[in-house]
Chains A and B, each alone.
Chain A
Amino acid sequence: MQPIFDNLNSLIIGSILILTISVTQGRSQRVGIEQIASHSLKAKTLVFGHWVERDVLGLGANVGRNTYRFSDPVVDARGNTSEWTFFSDSVRVDGSVLRQLVRYRLVRTQQAAFRDTTYQLYKVERDSATVAVHNGVPDAVEESDWQRGLWSIGTLSFFQINLLDRSGTTPRLSSGAVDVDRADYVQVRFGVVPEYVLKPDNYLRELYWTRTMKVRPYWMPPA
């Protein structure tokens, strides 16, 4: 006992030092992990955004003027776009035409709890199909025609496709359906959260990506 009491001050200070350094080390590790998670999250967001942007800007090739080249997006109860199909045409050497369709399907993946809120996470499945066009009329697309693509990320917090006119509103027919013929812009919005969430005191890091793209440069002025 005597040596312990002789060095009591040093023992207390030493213990405090060890505790302090271990806490600091722990925090430092957390920051390192967060930095990696943040970097990968940003990279994933930008890459997925680029994929979608490329798809949207490429839609409608060879389709002709003054005609729509996408469907009315299907919206779920949470306001997410659960399905959207768009297409372009490809002219073969022999003059025949193929319609190339792309379909986005929003699929639920997992739920993630951040503080007091539970978030439903999603991924976008990108399917593609090719059908022949005869005299301007494409063959019907069967479910078996769709081929599953692999362009997706699995931690989307929301995904919305809005068809807008130049006043920023969705043009609608008198029936209430979206008037795809009058949509000038396709607006894509989505949020992405990291796959790895540090608990318990981590805040929700949700990256937001939006792009509004003009897809109707194909109007022809009257002769």
Chain B
Amino acid sequence: MPQTLLSLLALVLASLLVFNQQRLTTASQTRMVTDEIELAASGLASDVLEFAEARSFDEATTPGAIQTLERVPALPSQFSGSTTFGATDRGTAGCDLLTPAITPDCDDLDDLNGLVNVPVDIVLANGRRFPFTVSTAVIYVTGTTSTAALATPSLHKRITVRVRSKFVRRGLSDVLEATRVISYDPIKAEKDHEDVFGPIGT
């Protein structure tokens, strides 16, 4: 009888040991995979931010608008109000976050406001794809370090990009959130116009 009891006790202890080991292994694997996904997500977020900045700063500073106006806008009062951010003028095709040429109506920075869980895949070796979803928000801010939204137009817009992966389970939190203040650059606006229409006034 004591022998059987001791054996049972040994079994229970071994089970606990194995269970704990298994739990640690799973947690470790999850952490490693999450790290790898986060690295990919950071690259994706960086690319999305770069092509957000590549767009015109405002609908009033697109090459077409400058061609109509025949000069480069200089004052914030000429820019769109914050209430018109988002779907107002980005067309029905939405916004392609990595190749703006695919969605030409989504041509300025604030058109990206309010995009929710847009599917974006990254392409790996041998054509394998890894899916993410991206949400974006754009607000006016007072300066390059401001985070509070400004109701009136200014020379700075803050874009926030949230990248999620269905392979990372964190409840409602995101795999990665990146934000950048993009300031109005009249020289860039003029160059973008010149690339399309040639020098202003010609």
Point out residues on A near B: beta carbons under 8 Å. Answer: 7, 9-10, 13-14, 16-17, 20-21, 24, 27-28, 31, 34-35, 38, 42, 45-46, 117, 119, 157-158, 165-169, 182, 184-185, 187, 189, 191, 205-214, 219, 221-222
**Is A38 touching B46 in the complex (CB atoms < 8 A)?**
no
From B25, which residue of chain A is reached at the shortest CB distance?
A31
Please name all residues of chain B whose beta carbon is closer than 8 Å to the beta carbon of A117 when the two chains form the complex: 126
Once A191-B124, A209-B39 are accepted as A-B contacts, the answer to whether A221 and B47 lie under 8 Å apart by CB is no
| A168 in complex: contacting residue of B17, B98, B130, CB < 8 Å | B98
Once A9-B4, A208-B40 are accepted as A-B contacts, the answer to whether A222 and B199 lie under 8 Å apart by CB is yes
Q: How far, in angstroms, from A145 to B40 measured CA to CA in the complex?
A: 37
What are 7 A-B interface contacts by the 8 Å CB criterion?
A31-B24, A168-B100, A168-B101, A207-B36, A207-B40, A210-B46, A213-B50
Q: How far, in angstroms, from A214 to B54 measured CA to CA in the complex?
A: 9
Once A168-B101, A207-B39 are accepted as A-B contacts, the answer to whether A24 and B4 lie under 8 Å apart by CB is no
* Stretch with Cβ within 8 A of A (4 or more), from B74-82, B83-91, B111-119, B185-193: B185-193
Once A167-B100, A169-B99 are accepted as A-B contacts, the answer to whether A221 and B191 lie under 8 Å apart by CB is yes
Most A CB atoms within 10 A — which of B11, B46, B50, B199? B50
Please name all residues of chain B whose beta carbon is closer than 8 Å to the beta carbon of A27 when the two chains form the complex: 21-22, 25
Interface residue B122 (Cβ < 8 Å from any Cβ of A) = yes
- Shortest Cβ distance from residue A167 to the other chain B in the assembled complex, whole angstroms: 4
Interface residue B10 (Cβ < 8 Å from any Cβ of A) = yes
Name the interface size band of chain B: 35 or more
Point out residues on B near A: beta carbons under 8 Å. Answer: 3-4, 7, 10-11, 14, 17-18, 21-22, 24-25, 28-29, 32, 35-36, 39-40, 43-44, 46-47, 50-51, 53-55, 96, 98-102, 104, 122, 124-126, 128, 130, 187, 190-192, 194-195, 199
**Is A212 touching B46 in the complex (CB atoms < 8 A)?**
yes
Once A38-B35, A38-B36 are accepted as A-B contacts, the answer to whether A166 and B47 lie under 8 Å apart by CB is no
From A41, which residue of chain B is reached at the shortest CB distance?
B36
From A37, which residue of chain B is reached at the shortest CB distance?
B32
Once A9-B4, A20-B18, A21-B14 are accepted as A-B contacts, the answer to whether A166 and B36 lie under 8 Å apart by CB is no
**Is B125 touching A157 in the complex (CB atoms < 8 A)?**
yes
**Is B187 touching A221 in the complex (CB atoms < 8 A)?**
yes
- Shortest Cβ distance from residue A160 to the other chain B in the assembled complex, whole angstroms: 9
Please name all residues of chain A whose beta carbon is closer than 8 Å to the beta carbon of B101 when the two chains form the complex: 167-169
Please name all residues of chain B whose beta carbon is closer than 8 Å to the beta carbon of A9 when the two chains form the complex: 3-4, 7
- Shortest Cβ distance from residue A198 to the other chain B in the assembled complex, whole angstroms: 12
From B55, which residue of chain A is reached at the shortest CB distance?
A166
- Shortest Cβ distance from residue B192 to the other chain A in the assembled complex, whole angstroms: 7
**Is B47 touching A187 in the complex (CB atoms < 8 A)?**
yes
Please name all residues of chain A whose beta carbon is closer than 8 Å to the beta carbon of B51 when the two chains form the complex: 166, 168, 212
Q: How far, in angstroms, from A30 to B179 measured CA to CA in the complex?
A: 38
**Is A206 touching B43 in the complex (CB atoms < 8 A)?**
no
**8 cross-chain pairs, A with B, having the tightest CB-CB distances, nearest first:** A167-B101, A157-B125, A168-B99, A210-B43, A166-B54, A208-B40, A212-B50, A13-B7
- Shortest Cβ distance from residue A112 to the other chain B in the assembled complex, whole angstroms: 10
**Is A182 touching B195 in the complex (CB atoms < 8 A)?**
yes
**Is A214 touching B199 in the complex (CB atoms < 8 A)?**
no
